[in-house]
A and B are shown apart, each in its own frame.
Chain A
Amino acid sequence: MNVLEFTALVGVGSFLAGLLGSLTGLGGGVVLVPLLTIFFKVDIRYAIGASLVSVIATSSGAAAAYVREGFSNIRIGMFLEIATTLGALCGAFLAAKVSTAAIAVIFGVVLVYSAYLSRKPRSQADRDAPPDPLATRLRLNGSFPDAGGVRHYNVQHVPAGFGLMLGAGALSGLLGIGSGAVKVLAMDQAMKIPFKVSTTTSNFMIGVTAVASAGVYLKRGYIDPGLAMPVMLGVLAGSLWGTRILVKAETRWLRIVFSVVIALLGVQMLLKGFLGTI
């Protein structure tokens, strides 16, 4: 397989990852690294560098959707980005200290957990909870257009959410993924932010979080242009096309299939990590 064929195949794989990632809302980055390491025999450090780049592209490219819908909460995003960028910086430094086998194991756990989380029903945000004084002081409470008019929401458990975001940032920096699963966990489950707002705000935050570790990875020489090129272009095209056909597509079965794929990739990564064949 020469560079031309390799580029074409990686491009197609990345396109599919981006497409499925955006259709299911699970993100493309989470399958990219296992795809590159398991099927294309790419060293996990190069794979993480390329994935990180594609995560930034997807997040920025998705801006069109959230500008149109007006669901994201810029204050929640900005406040929590303090946590995610700090975490990402730590994660990126940590990536140089731990072995690639350990990274593979952590990756496997995150994959299996993401698959599990995607099968769990969403928690209904507590609509009538009284405003949290800290959230009020930080001006995090907001509103968004819903079927029945404008809906207001009160943000809860700010410190817990902030702490989870530090973790989400660290995972993002360590593994080169958007860690959307942990971000939604923090906003949806802990802070009780309505699902639509937490997903769009999470999408908004992912790009900024990824940049915090991308600087470190670039200097360390993890970002290879020859690999990042098909990955970034493929994922971007796939995710943009995905958001376009999202309204028409039947995503329930897709979510099931994709979560099974993620779980299988997770088991593969765990095995590779434990056997040290990575």
Chain B
Amino acid sequence: MTWANWTDEKVEKIIGELLIAGVFLSAAIVLVGGIIYLIHYGHSMPSYSVFRGEPETLRSIRAILRYAFALHGRGIIQFGLLILIATPVARVAFSIVGFAAEGDRMYVVFTSIVLLILLYSLFWSSSIA
């Protein structure tokens, strides 16, 4: 596969497959986490009418990973949601590669701006919020 063969259609097709794989992987993890969560907490009472905010273990990427690998149901669900959030990010990152391969410098810049905004939201936004 040479770089010259890259077209918009081809890039879109690969991106589409990437998104579908990501969303199904995420759904499977969320389902497993959900079953574990329901086994442990199925008979307790839901309390969503008063907003308390999630504990620290379910807020940051590092904490979620730690909580999920300890096999907590809620942690596993949150890990699945992280994968879901990562799929559009991967799509944007892959688009940069695609545009670069097509030699479209303007769109490499545009797509990089979008990627930076997403990474800012995921990694650095907490200091302001």
Contact = CB atoms under 8 A, between A and B. Distances in A.
Q: How large is the interface on A (under 10, 10 to 19, 20 to 34, 35 or more residues)?
A: 35 or more
Given A63-B16, A212-B117, A232 B41 contact: no
A86 interface: yes
A227 B87 CA distance: 21
A99 to B, nearest CB: 12
B17 to A, nearest CB: 7
Contacts of B84: 53, 56-57, 60, 232
Interface in B15-53: 15-17, 19-20, 22-23, 26-27, 30-31, 33-34, 37-38, 41-46, 48-51, 53
Contact of B34 (A6, A139, A230): A230
Interface residues of B, number: 67
Contact of B48 (A41, A89, A207, A220): A41
A278 B69 CA distance: 37
B101 interface: no
B59 A57 contact: no
Contacts of A45: 51
Nearest to B82: A218
Nearest to A53: B81
B77 A74 contact: no
A120 interface: no
B121 A225 contact: no
Nearest to A206: B88
A50 to B, nearest CB: 9
Contacts, number: 202
Contact of A227 (B27, B48, B89, B95): B48
A228 B46 CA distance: 13
A89 B120 contact: yes
Interface in A35-90: 40-43, 45-46, 53, 56-57, 59-61, 63-64, 66-67, 70, 72, 74-75, 78-79, 81-82, 85-86, 89
Interface in B48-66: 48-51, 53-55, 58-60
A131 interface: no
B6 interface: no
Contacts of A102: none
Given A2-B43, A43-B48, A53-B81, A63 B58 contact: no
Contacts of B23: 57, 60-61, 63, 236
30 contacts: A1-B46, A3-B43, A42-B49, A43-B49, A43-B51, A46-B51, A53-B81, A53-B84, A61-B19, A61-B23, A64-B20, A67-B17, A78-B107, A79-B110, A82-B110, A92-B129, A139-B107, A207-B91, A208-B114, A208-B118, A210-B88, A211-B122, A215-B123, A216-B129, A218-B122, A224-B48, A224-B58, A225-B58, A228-B30, A228-B81
Interface of B: 8-9, 11-13, 15-17, 19-20, 22-23, 26-27, 30-31, 33-34, 37-38, 41-46, 48-51, 53-55, 58-60, 73-75, 77-78, 81, 84-85, 87-89, 91-92, 95, 104, 106-107, 110-111, 113-114, 117-118, 120-123, 125-126, 128-129
Given A66-B16, A215-B122, 14 more contacts: A3-B45, A3-B46, A43-B51, A56-B85, A56-B87, A57-B26, A60-B19, A63-B23, A79-B110, A85-B118, A92-B125, A215-B118, A218-B122, A222-B53
